[in-house]
Chain A
Amino acid sequence: MPAPILGEQYASLDRQAVTLRFGMWLFLGSELLLFSGLFVLYAAYRSMYRNDFVDAVHHNTMAYGTANTYVLLTSSFTVALAVFNMRRGALRAVTWFLLASAALGATFIVIKLVEYGVHIREGALPGPYYHYAEAATLGANRFYTLYWVTTGAHALHVTGGIGVLLWTAWHVRRGRYTAGYHPRFENATLYWHFVDVMWLFIWPIYYLV
């Protein structure tokens, strides 16, 4: 197992680890800006087309969105368990929990694709392609346009997150991290949790109320 490399600008590995984690939190803060733009658009259009948005939410596929909420919450739990096991040096368990989390992420994507198939058949498509007969209003068109952009951006993040989890599991298996020093491993898990947190706000506004 290679010893961790200490950058010359750091006084200790602990300081280096804190800096790496802080950099990750700043990155997550900037990622939040991307989604906040979409939330701002949602707030504006919902204020303008309140009744149409409420109708569109009721036409949306709540079962798929709700199932995906439980899938992502469970994946966050398994990722947290991976960190717990990393801290106690149980590297074999870490690998399995990361793989389980990636599998749950893949489940999320499969459910999302099935749901997109339903929307395509119904004609609930973005912008000029919208022809959903059950909600034929301008507000519903705006709702589904934002829905596709927001959930599409989120699904891309989930897909990227699956890649990050698999890459991290591979490196855990190769012994690149130790119980005492694993900031890059923790940063990978932070990214996955961030994807979960974004969904916790997407789910109520597009599926519930």
Chain B
Amino acid sequence: MTHDTATNHLSIRAYVLTYVVLLVLATGSWLLAGIHVPGAIAIGLGIGAIKAFLVLGYFMHLAEEPFSFKLVIALSAMLVAVFVGLTALDPLTRPGLPNP
């Protein structure tokens, strides 16, 4: 993304570009939902994660912040992924599920 070199802040072009990419990704998610592919939920969440990364980095200006700011969010996101992943694994690895 381009920065305004005078102030080290994002330029208007960077905001517009981020917005356009977000719209393209959202449309991609919507179109993919119509195609039944294996691992669709992983793809959907993966595209969601890319969109979240763009919003956090450019609209929320995390890219301009010190490392400690980025660490708070990176750790939070990582812990959520661990909680969700482990919780999903538990019922998947137990026999006798109602609707496996």
Mostly helix, strand, loop or mixed at chain A's interface? helix
Q: What is the minimal beta-carbon distance from A147 to any residue of chain B, in angstroms?
A: 15
Is B73 in contact with A29, judged by CB distance below 8 angstroms?
Answer: yes
Is A36 in contact with B84, judged by CB distance below 8 angstroms?
Answer: yes
Is A49 in contact with B26, judged by CB distance below 8 angstroms?
Answer: no
Could you tell me the distance between the alpha carbons of A200 and B59 in the complex, rounded to whole angstroms? 14
A62: chain B residues within 8 A (beta carbon): 30, 33
Is B47 in contact with A48, judged by CB distance below 8 angstroms?
Answer: no
Cβ-neighbour of A208 out of B44, B56, B69 (below 8 A) = B44
Cβ-neighbour of A193 out of B45, B59, B80 (below 8 A) = B59
Q: What is the minimal beta-carbon distance from A68 to any residue of chain B, in angstroms?
A: 11
Q: Is A46 an interface residue (CB 8 A)?
A: yes
Q: Is B5 an interface residue (CB 8 A)?
A: no
Is A22 in contact with B68, judged by CB distance below 8 angstroms?
Answer: yes
Could you tell me the distance between the alpha carbons of A207 and B61 in the complex, rounded to whole angstroms? 29
> Which A9-67 residues sit within 8 Å CB-CB of chain B?
18, 21-22, 25-26, 28-29, 32-33, 36, 39-40, 43-44, 46-52, 62, 66
Q: Is A139 an interface residue (CB 8 A)?
A: yes
Interface residue tally on A, bucketed by range = 35 or more
A39: chain B residues within 8 A (beta carbon): 80, 83-84
B26: chain A residues within 8 A (beta carbon): 66, 69-70, 73
Could you tell me the distance between the alpha carbons of A33 and B97 in the complex, rounded to whole angstroms? 28
Contact mask for chain B residues 1-13; partner A; CB cutoff 8 A; 1 contact, 0 none: 0000001011010
- 21 A-B residue contacts at CB 8 Å? A25-B65, A25-B73, A33-B76, A39-B80, A39-B83, A44-B88, A47-B97, A48-B91, A50-B100, A76-B55, A76-B59, A81-B15, A83-B61, A84-B10, A84-B15, A137-B99, A193-B60, A204-B47, A205-B45, A208-B33, A209-B32
